[in-house]
Structure 1
């Protein structure tokens, strides 16, 4: 442990962090609500700096400018994500649930529906599952998904539409079969 700490303290990223983290954190804190959010954004900024291959070749002022620009972009991303997926205090969520939704029968039915969905999703081709995961679990827009999977925004929209229609038809077919029995 001590040796790992010594190696980190002597690493270029540690030096970079010591020099710029306080300044970048102040910059971020002016634009985000909580200190925790600011620290998360700061971490993302320094991860981006590690991933940038020619970052070390930049001069000190250029490095700071680059870090501030990335920080700005990261907290904008955070704000956009918060608008698309707002967080609610636990007290509010508990008040939104009715007693019927908490009933054991409802919990079991919901679990069965989730299991059925997992089975049906597993039957889809990998590309369709990935598009669904990025859109609904990741909250990404079609353009962002396209960048990740190297497809155009239009192609992603088509994949998404066809996949949802396929799932809808599977559910419709199964409900009709269940009604005929």
Structure 2
């Protein structure tokens, strides 16, 4: 038993479609600009025609006139809807998705990998040197503030920080090359 909301196409409907679809499609395409939107609207137009033919006994001449009215109304509706929604080409979206290239997934993955290598290298440092690096660059403390924390002179902390950074560069380079110190 057929369901009431289903629309079945008869032979005369197929002939009607073949006769009017190319002209209606050309009209829709010219007025909406997007092939996909024109195809969607063409489908909507002919669904309306099939429903009209099924619900009322309409002669083909009146139906041919009515189909152009429906097509025009679908274009108007499309433009009303598109006023509220901006459509952008997928290629344009992809190109501008990440305004800042640093936030692109590839760049974030590379950055995370570099951070992981740095953390691995930091674990190779002695605790005192690791703490100096953490306080200086992780927490933003000045050398004077770090000196207060460790009860050392500011000059000693500066020298320790300099030596630690030099050692860290060496370790990082060695780890990057796959060797060991």
What's the TM-score, normalizing by structure 1? 0.43
What's the TM-score, normalizing by structure 2? 0.43
Q: Which has the larger radius of gyration?
A: 2
